[in-house]
């Protein structure tokens, strides 16, 4: 299935295979869940898309700012294939990596969900081995980053348990879709960001009180 979008007068199209793909497309291009980032994206030079899924956010950012350098990370192979296809369909030049981002480097189990956007390093059941790149190591390699978008199904907590002050200091803005569970609450991330010099806004999901968004911006 191909869905077309019109973003600020610029048209494009996304290849979708499942209802879960469609729900993500609608969140980004119909409901505009990320419009709060439009100004940040427009001024950004380097953008990281962690949990890129099939590429909707990377394309959203690339359409709004064709000059930004975008790095897209997605560990699941089927999503990764669609990610590359969709970037090509929209002439978005992103660096794509078929790896997960977590707290520490290593080979881990990626637990697979029936919904393409819910695969996670946190969970149980059927899984597959993937390589996990540490967030700290990624930031150390890339240097200054204008925007980090993070939608990694619960692994955000292990990232903030391991992230260094030095790495946080290299980030201008960060937008996290958080997923509480296993005794981990979003306030720990909010406190870490505030301690790292960010002004923080939190928005709880209308559909699920254990989920929501956190936006951290440099004061």
Give 182's pLDDT tier (boundaries 50, 70, 90).
confident
- Counting residues of the chain whose pLDDT is more than 90, the rounded percentage is 81
Q: What pairing do the DSSP bridges indicate for beta strands 211-218 and 171-179?
A: antiparallel
What is the chain's mean pLDDT, rounded? 93
What value, to the nearest 5°, has the Cα angle with vertex 144 and ends 142 and 147? Answer: 100
Q: Which domains does the chain have, with CATH numbers?
A: 2-218 (3.40.50.150)
Give 208's pLDDT tier (boundaries 50, 70, 90).
confident
**pLDDT value at residue 23:** 93
How far apart, in Å, are the Cα atoms of 60 and each of 7, 12, 114, 178? 8, 10, 25, 20
Q: What pairing do the DSSP bridges indicate for beta strands 145-150 and 171-179?
A: parallel
**pTM strictly above 0.75:** yes
In which order are the strands placed within the sheet that holds 127-134? 100-102, 127-134, 106-111
Which helix H or strand E contains 37, and what residues bound it? none
Phi/psi at 168 (5° precision): -60, -35
Q: What pairing do the DSSP bridges indicate for beta strands 106-111 and 100-102?
A: unpaired
Rg of the chain over Cα atoms, rounded to whole angstroms, equals 16
What is the per-residue pLDDT across 78-136, written as a single tens digit (0 to 9) for each? 999 999 999 999 999 999 999 999 999 999 999 988 888 888 888 777 789 999 999 99
Q: With contact defined as beta carbons under 8 Å apart, do 134 and 120 qualify?
A: no
């Amino acid at each position: 299935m191909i869905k077309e979008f019109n973003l600020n007068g610029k048209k494009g199209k996304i290849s979708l295979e499942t209802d879960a793909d469609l729900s993500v497309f609608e969140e980004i291009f119909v409901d505009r869940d990320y419009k709060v980032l439009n100004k940040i994206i427009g001024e950004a030079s380097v953008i990281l898309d962690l949990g890129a899924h099939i590429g909707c956010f990377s394309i959203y950012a690339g359409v709004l700012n064709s000059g930004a350098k975008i790095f897209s990370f997605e560990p699941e192979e089927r999503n990764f294939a669609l990610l590359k296809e969709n970037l090509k369909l929209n002439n978005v030049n992103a660096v794509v990596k078929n790896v997960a981002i977590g707290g520490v480097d290593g080979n881990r189990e990626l637990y697979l969900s029936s919904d393409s956007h819910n695969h996670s390093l946190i969970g149980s059941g059927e899984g597959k081995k993937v390589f996990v790149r540490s967030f700290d190591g990624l930031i150390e390699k890339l240097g200054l980053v204008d925007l980090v978008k993070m939608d990694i199904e619960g692994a955000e907590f292990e990232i903030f348990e391991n992230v260094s002050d030095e790495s946080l200091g290299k980030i201008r803005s960060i937008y996290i879709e958080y997923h509480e569970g296993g005794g981990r609450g979003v306030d720990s991330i909010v406190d870490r960001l505030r301690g790292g010099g960010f002004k923080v806004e939190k928005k709880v999901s209308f559909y699920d009180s254990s989920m929501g968004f956190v936006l951290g911006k440099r004061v």
